[in-house]
Amino acid sequence: MEQSVNSITLRGELQALPEFSHDNHGRRFFRFYLNVPRLSGAVDTLPIIAEERLVQSIDPCGGGMLTVTGQIRSHNYRVDGVRRLMIFLFASAIMAEDGPAMNEVVLQGALCREPIYRLTPLGREICDVMLAVPRAFHRADYLPCILWGRIAQEISGCAVGDRIHIEGRLQSRTYHKTTESGSELRTAYEISALTAYACEEE
């Protein structure tokens, strides 16, 4: 089985206290969001799912800085018959500690779609890819990634099935979606790559 390379560390401010999400085989899971500022001053608001035993260490007063480590996971669900992809950090550890904001992601997976290469109106190179990152029990997480500049150009030449290694950050992005009932404001999550390369065949 292919070895899983999927790790993320976030440090940011707790937006609100965790709320119950779901239970699975008798284990209770909670959802909360961290506000993680970028160097530019923009703030990513990122979703986290954690088991009850982990969230018990969170300050009930809220508003504190947390460091959360784990993996980026994806989950397909349906809303009104439409399939959507949910992206979140699945926590393995939570620690209350002050320090500079942190948003570090390392992934390795196979391209499951053809890369989409394009130029912005200002001529900046962008490449969108979808990585299938292996998980235990023959499962995989399908994670959208965006690459910029030289690495966008390099990865755009890869083919479906090629293994890609990416290091970067998880970011949030809001957009307007036109639906039958009007325009809805939605949030998308993607990995913005700082470095990326195609892995050598073993």
Range(s) within the chain of domains with CATH label 2.40.50.140: 5-103, 106-198
- Two structure tokens written together for 51: 């088991």
Mind listing the pLDDT tens digit of every residue in the chain (202 residues)?
456 799 999 999 998 889 999 999 999 999 999 999 998 989 999 999 999 999 987 876 656 789 999 999 999 877 667 778 899 999 999 998 889 999 999 999 999 999 999 998 888 999 999 999 999 888 999 999 999 999 999 999 999 999 999 999 999 998 887 777 778 888 899 999 999 999 976 5
Q: Which CATH class is domain 106-198?
A: mainly beta
> Which CATH superfamily hosts domain 5-103?
Nucleic acid-binding proteins (2.40.50.140)
What's CA 193's distance to the chain center, in Å? Answer: 11
